[in-house]
A and B are shown apart, each in its own frame.
Chain A
Amino acid sequence: MTARQVSVALDGTITVRVGKVELGQGIVTALAQIAADELDADLAHVTMLPANTADGPDEGMTAGSMSVAESGAALRSACAEVRMLFLAEAARRLGEEPGRVVVRDGVFSSADGARRTSYGELADGVDLDRRAEGVALPKDAARLRIVGTDVPRLDLPDKIRGVPRFIHDLVLDGQLYGRVVRPPSPAASLIEVGTARIRECAGVVSVVVDGSFLGVVADDEAAADRAAAMLRDAAHWKEQDSLPNENDLPAFLRSVPSETFTVVDEFDDAATAAPVAKTLAASYSRPYLAHASMGPSCGVARWDGDSVQIWSHSQGIFPLKRAVAKALQLDPDRVSVQHVEGAGAYGHNGADDAAFDAVLLARSVTGRPVHVRWSRSDELTWSPFGSAMVVDLEAGLDAAGRVVSWSCDVWSQGHLARPGTADGAPGLLAAAHLARPIPLPVAVDPPASRGAGSTRGAVPQYDFPRRRITGHRSLRAPLRTSSLRGLGSFATVFAIESFMDELAAAAGRDPLEYRMSQLSDPRAREALETAARLGGWEDRTQDPEGVGRGIGFARYKGTGAYCAVVAEIEAVNEVRVRRLSLAVDVGRIVNPDGVRNQIEGGAVQAASWTLIERVRFDRRRVTSVDWESYPILRFSQVPEVDVTLVSRPDEPSVGAGEAAQGPTAAALGNALAAALGVRVRDMPMTTERIVSVLES
């Protein structure tokens, strides 16, 4: 129904409900622009409501760089219809033919401009509580006025002033504060815990022990923290070794039982077979990576006896609602979820888990909201990780060095374990620790139609004949994995684009020229040419010793944004990234500065992943527990980032959020090879790793 998306008040306020949520990526601003433009309304009159399951649209997950494409298209249609209905009413009241009514900044005028009315004045004459008919056509690109402009982010003024806005800041009537004491290691289980002393402490309201799930509820956060520390000291756990050897993850991934699946297989196609003059092979890897959000996961819940209300920064409030209902065997209609902004999210982090923690603790204090905030160490050790991966590539080259056959094997744990996705399991952390446990599912992969998971990005955009691309998804999950920005593409694109440089070197050709000679997609070519120009590719031959430039390219998921990167690295005493120059084509651009911000941030985060990040663990425990044991790039290490947007107003809009990850990694690896003459095929490219490659 239209009214579920858009409503207009008598004061002219236009309220828009979307199912996609703000993760710090600016999506709510972009969607407000789309709505205002389609309505020909003043952007200042548009209010974006936070998503909730009670009366908002179910738009699934805010993930996969799909929000502008999916939610934007639906919103555009809905707003076009609202505009048509208001225009018809305006025509009636103004005594003008509908085709002659002019709409601008929310004002409807007769053709001569003499008679005017507005959305607010017309609101009582238009019933939006009706089924969308889908007959109104959205605007042509040429008529867009707000889309395509640098509208400042709607949420930033509050954040810059320090006005409460995050779920961490939420204070509800009668609110209590909860903390969960997690097991010390993934395979640990509780032996015993004495709680009598803790229950008597000042401020403690309840202590919950259910299987290996331990938690406290207290009057305030300081009391909750003190009680949680006591509970941790009082708990005795049985631990066991369950983790792979962190220093040989490729061996683990190749040997673990896995599901093998074919992405592309053209090897039996005799017509494409050409003589192979030379064959090259190489393997590339990435470690487990942490989301490492600046704000620990947080959730709030109130148990009302026969229903539960949840506040969450989940990326999928409807799936969370269904998962909580399933885990607790409740009627889903008894569970409602309100979205509240959290700190930046880059995929499936602990948001859903924290919400479920709050539900479990809230059951012990019926009628009172319980606010749960994770510790830094729980955030780093218990949020799902992006999986370690290894990518094996083999290429057959003809006499001129062109690729005539291409084989790729991707080994990985799955990249999708969000609530309700993997075998329909709730996928909620605490459920796995209850006395009647619901185990965490082994992560699966999104289907190819949603961009795949382990093999995301594994199909090269080059004009290779005879390709065979195979995935091997682990059926074991010693470490919990799920979606992290870019999913498998961070490794597959790194592998493909590193290998392209190695193939170019074997053929004695320039890496850019080598790519262009096997790339016919004009948008891909323009992205590469633009990045090369921006990054001073032609000057690379004059780079002094110890300085190098490298290039990387991909079209995200094969269907999304085009992104090419030139990285300039200085590797003298240590590796320093001087500059990343990116060219990006996201089709029609809704908010240019918003796209730039996403690409800049993505490139910096990808540089951090590539150069220094790696989840550390021994055979029993995850040992990356704070910012010293899981460092990320600091101000003094962040490179210059230049972004050029290739404008394509007539192409559909696609998301920008994940496009930079893989190409940036590859450009850095290629720049390092240019600077030092060594090829580092395993991330992170730390000084220690580079030295070991130099010595081998």
Chain B
Amino acid sequence: MQETFELVVNGQRHVSASPRDTPLLHVLRHELDLKGSRFGCGLGLCGVCFVLMDGHPTPACDTPLWSAAGRKIVTIEGLGDSDSLHPAQQAFQREQAAQCGYCVSGILISAAALLADNPHPDEADVVAALDRHLCRCGAQRRMIRALTRRADAA
């Protein structure tokens, strides 16, 4: 019998029959057509593929399907609800905190995890939470501002 893996993605149950070592990122992008998690390096070193796995920011590019089985996965598409953006997304939009935007969905995942733990982060908190992420366009200051100003306003 073919091995299958069950995961919950953005609240929806998904059963995958892909080989057990298939990267989670591939399952998300190709089986579920969730293109917001992106490929950057394949080694978990850049952060553009991050998703929440049971609430923890995790690189989807080097997470094999078998280890995602039974977990709750949240991607950028699942951060907000149908009516409104997640507060981190709203803050990024308000601050125009991106240039090319390729890294931004992964960064928003870590930002969401940060705000869940700490709704009022200071600069050091934000930097620590986002330090696994790279941004080549140099939009980091805008992202830090977005999340700390949000805290100021709250």
Contact = CB atoms under 8 A, between A and B. Distances in A.
B99 A25 contact: yes
B89 A627 contact: no
A604 B141 contact: yes
B76 A161 contact: yes
B41 A627 contact: yes
B141 A343 contact: no
Given A162-B75, A632-B136, A153 B45 contact: no
A343 B103 CA distance: 8
Using C-beta atoms within 8 Å of the partner chain, give the interface range for chain B. Answer: 35 or more
Given A160-B85, A160-B104, A635-B133, A601 B139 contact: yes
B127 A220 contact: no
A149 interface: no
A601 B93 contact: no
A162 B77 contact: yes
Contacts of A515: none
Interface stretch (A121-129, A191-199, A292-300): A292-300
A131 interface: no
Interface string B90-122: 001100101111111100100000000000000
A166 interface: yes
Interface string B121-154: 0000011101101111111111010000000000
B30 interface: yes
Contacts of A171: 33
Given A166-B102, A294-B48, A635 B130 contact: yes
Contact of B138 (A152, A160, A165, A600): A600
Contacts of B33: 171
B35 interface: yes
B63 interface: no
A376 B40 contact: yes
Interface string A562-605: 00000000000000000000000000000001000110111111
B48 A295 contact: yes
B131 A626 contact: no
A375 interface: yes
Interface stretch (A50-58, A100-108, A439-447, A636-644): A636-644
Given A222-B18, A294-B103, A156 B93 contact: yes
B18 A294 contact: no
A376 B41 contact: yes
A232 B115 CA distance: 43
Q: Interface SS of chain B: helix, strand, loop or mixed?
A: loop
A604 B101 contact: no
Contacts of B101: 24, 155-156, 158-160, 165
Given A24-B101, A221-B26, A222-B23, A626 B96 contact: no
Interface string A283-299: 00000000011111000
Interface string B24-53: 001001100111111111110110100000
Contacts of A163: 36
B80 interface: yes
Interface in A296-322: 296
Contacts of B85: 160-161
Nearest to B88: A160
A604 B93 contact: no
A164 B105 CA distance: 11
A24 B101 CA distance: 7
A47 to B, nearest CB: 19
25 contacts: A152-B93, A153-B96, A155-B101, A159-B101, A159-B104, A160-B92, A160-B93, A162-B77, A164-B35, A169-B35, A171-B33, A222-B19, A294-B137, A295-B39, A295-B40, A343-B136, A600-B138, A600-B142, A601-B138, A627-B43, A632-B134, A635-B126, A635-B133, A636-B127, A638-B138
Given A169-B29, A220-B30, 9 more contacts: A152-B96, A159-B104, A161-B80, A222-B19, A294-B102, A597-B142, A626-B43, A632-B134, A638-B138
Interface of B: 18-19, 22-23, 26, 29-30, 33-43, 45-46, 48, 75-77, 80, 85, 89, 92-93, 96, 98-105, 108, 126-128, 130-131, 133-142, 144
